Amino acid sequence: MNPQLQRLIELQNTDSEITELDRGNAAIPQQIESGKSDLKEKQEELKQAEGVLAELQKKRKDLEMEVATENDHIAKTKSKLPAVKTNKEYTAILTEVDAVKEKISVLEDKELELMEELEEKEKRIPAFKAQCKEEEENFNAYKAKKEAEAKRTEEELEVLRARRHAAAGGIEEKLLGQYNKVFKARDSLAVVTIKENICQGCHSQILPQQVIDVKMGETINQCEQCSRILYWEETSETAVPK
């Protein structure tokens, strides 16, 4: 086989491996990002539960303050008693105090209700936290696995790039230019086999004379349709070194 053709085949094989690994690695950030979604969901649930709790706690504090204000109100009203001159004034003060006491009783009932609700909601927080922690651990393990995969791939890529460099170095400049052009234009596939007279790149029929040339492997043949460089696998006795 034409040694140039042999190198072109090797170059294509190496480039195909590089392309595949590059694609795999390019997908990793997205995979990590989508792996985060379960964790985010749990974190959101926890945040919401904590938000509700904080709101209830604030309501409770407000009620406490209201009760304190009303107690002040009672003390102030009662402090008027020593100065009272008439029964009517006396009754009015006591009526006012009773009204405030009634108000306080309602507020305290509300506070009790709120405390029950708070207690019930607080009980759920540990479970949310545990779920969050579990999801976080799951995600961290997944992320570490993916990052290790990326690192391993990068190491493989380094070896392949060196191999590519070596293979490209042995190819005539004009031929390498052709290869690169077709590689870019034709979905990263510039060197293909023919099977049953069909170009395996674009699936068009190769003329009988060219099939003979391709089988001989002494010259560089390009598909007339897609310009890919053609070779015949069965006849390439010197298998492409891997």
| Residue number, 48 or 225, with CB nearest to Zn ion | 225
| Residue number, 9 or 100, with CB nearest to Zn ion | 9
Amino acid (1-letter code) at residue 67: V
Q: Per-residue x/- mask for Zn ion, residues 54 to 93, rule CB under 5 A?
A: ----------------------------------------
**Token pair of 74 as six digits:** 């009672």
- Least separation, in Å, of the C-beta of 193 and Zn ion? 11
Integer Cα distance of 222 and 214 in angstroms: 9
Q: Per-residue x/- mask for Zn ion, residues 176 to 205, rule CB under 5 A?
A: -----------------------x-xx---
- Least separation, in Å, of the C-beta of 238 and Zn ion? 24
- Map residue 171 onto helix, strand or coil: coil
- Least separation, in Å, of the C-beta of 16 and Zn ion? 16
Integer Cα distance of 114 and 42 in angstroms: 26
**Token pair of 8 as six digits:** 């072109």
| Residue number, 46 or 214, with CB nearest to Zn ion | 214
- DSSP class of residue 227 equals -
Q: How many residues bind Zn ion (CB under 5 A)?
A: 6
| Residue number, 199 or 211, with CB nearest to Zn ion | 199
- Least separation, in Å, of the C-beta of 15 and Zn ion? 17
| Residue number, 77 or 200, with CB nearest to Zn ion | 200
Are 122 and 56 within 8 A, CB to CB? no
Q: Any contact of residue 105 with Zn ion (CB under 5 A)?
A: no
Which residue in the block uniquely carries the two structure tokens 């709120």? 114
| Residue number, 201 or 217, with CB nearest to Zn ion | 201
- Least separation, in Å, of the C-beta of 215 and Zn ion? 16
Q: Is 6 exposed, middle or buried (0-12, 13-18, 19+ CB in 10 A)?
A: buried
- Least separation, in Å, of the C-beta of 171 and Zn ion? 20
- CA distance to 61, 90, 161, 191, 212, per residue, from 95 (Å): 28, 9, 94, 102, 117
Show contacts with Zn ion in window 201-230 (CB under 5 A): 201-202, 223, 225-226
Integer Cα distance of 134 and 39 in angstroms: 9
**Token pair of 55 as six digits:** 């709101």
Distance of CA 227 to the CA centre of its chain: 40
State the residues that interact with Zn ion by CB under 5 A: 199, 201-202, 223, 225-226
